[in-house]
Amino acid sequence: MTDILNLIKNRDPGEKEFHQAVEEVLESVQPVLDRNPQYRQDAVLERITEPERVIMFRVPWMDDQGQVHVNRAFRIQMNSAIGPYKGGLRFHPSVNLSILKFLAFEQVFKNALTTLSMGGGKGGSDFDPKGKSDNEVMRFCQSFMAELFRHIGPDTDVPAGDIGVGAREIGYLFGMYKKLRNEFTGVLTGKSLGWGGSLIRPEATGYGSVYFAAEMLATQNQTLEGKTCLVSGSGNVSQYTVEKIIEFGGKVVTFSDSSGYIYDEEGIDTDKLAFVKRLKNIKRGRISEYIDKYSEAVYTEADTSLDYNPLWNHKSDCAFPGATENEINETDATNLMKNGVHLVCEGANMPSTPEAINIFLDKKILYAPGKASNAGGVAVSGLEMAQNSMRLNWPADEVDRRLKMIMKNIHQTCLNASAEYGVSGNYMAGANIAGFTKVVNAMLDQGLV
């Protein structure tokens, strides 16, 4: 295992997020490799850690003043052993090859866990939609798709949203794809309801992660009723995580964005949540504006000079990180334990550093890795693809029923795989082992391609 990791680190030395994601998976699957010596001979690790294809392109676009800008964009087509590449597009200034490769790598195992036929991919650009007009975002999306369209398709690669890519961006991207290809197909998921989107897709990642948390709690005869929960982020995933926690009787006390966080000791109820949805999705404002309306809450500005995030330092029972990678470090994890948290359920991708994860595993709390607990989003994207192929729309309760069933199955799959390899209750190991085994066996069935 060390030799593979060294090979990857030496080949692409700057890609620290990618190395982090690979290291976590390789550690978990060591017992699988020990039990299956042919995997080494077939170089499955070398193959699964190298993208099948990486596309990198420039995106020129014009702002409202007539000034031309150029952004860099990527699509990582990581693995197609079990289906067409599938994974989101991220528009954020931090986007680079390392971040997208880590996300694409995680996506491969996540998609395998859903049991749907989807390979793994991810893409995006260092374009920042924040502060841009709708017309600027549209011109950027059109220019982005003017290159990407030749590499994707409903049976090849089906992108979706991620940070900075919501219904508005998916609309502009789809419109350009349709014009260039002259075809109306399910090439993107996360579409609006009126033209091919699936009910429950916007809710799916957040709802799914809460369903997963409920399954974990049920193993200890507990529920979310009465539990105090910390939630980070205030975008798509966080909003619907909060919605479902409220429905399950929990009390959420935080929301954040990249500028800071609010702490509302009285709890965020459905009216307050509706305010946040309007603030973020329509007004595109900052979470600091929450205290203008609800003066009982406290706003704390993000402070990069601190080596911890104060959001994770409040008395609570459960934590639902829903913003971005590595947002919980070792100090944050220690603070969470000190404050009584006994469940961490990741809505974001890789929000916990390896040191933080070690603390969760040492303390034997209920810890769900994002590739299992946030798989509800891509699962319902898979259901959107199925509905598009059949040219049918399922009602909301049908999609929600399937989502619940998928999250229940993923939970059980993680538990079974962890038990089979002697690490019972370790959801991270279970998710990695189950996802890895499924993808690797498909790769071997298909020969050396």
C-beta closer to ligand NDP: residue 169 or 215: 169
C-beta closer to ligand NDP: residue 232 or 443: 232
Q: How far is the CB of 58 from ligand NDP (least distance, A)?
A: 23
Q: How far is the CB of 2 from ligand NDP (least distance, A)?
A: 29
C-beta closer to ligand NDP: residue 107 or 142: 107
**Residue 122 designated active-site:** yes
Residue nearest to ligand NDP (CB): 235
Tell me which residues touch ligand NDP (CB under 6 A): 94, 161-164, 205, 233-237, 257-259, 322-324, 347-349, 374, 377
| Residue partners of 8: CB distance under 8 A and separation at least 6 | 18, 19, 22, 49
Q: How far is the CB of 393 from ligand NDP (least distance, A)?
A: 19
Q: How far is the CB of 374 from ligand NDP (least distance, A)?
A: 4
C-beta closer to ligand NDP: residue 259 or 424: 259
Would you state the structure tokens that stand for residue 425, as one six-digit string?
A: 């209750």
The residue length of the chain stands at: 449
Burial 393-417 (b: 16+ CB within 10 A, else e): bbeeeebbebbbebbeebbebbbeb
Q: How far is the CB of 49 from ligand NDP (least distance, A)?
A: 20
Q: How far is the CB of 64 from ligand NDP (least distance, A)?
A: 21
* Catalytically annotated residue among 86, 122, 244, 371: 122
C-beta closer to ligand NDP: residue 111 or 421: 111
Catalytically annotated residues: 122
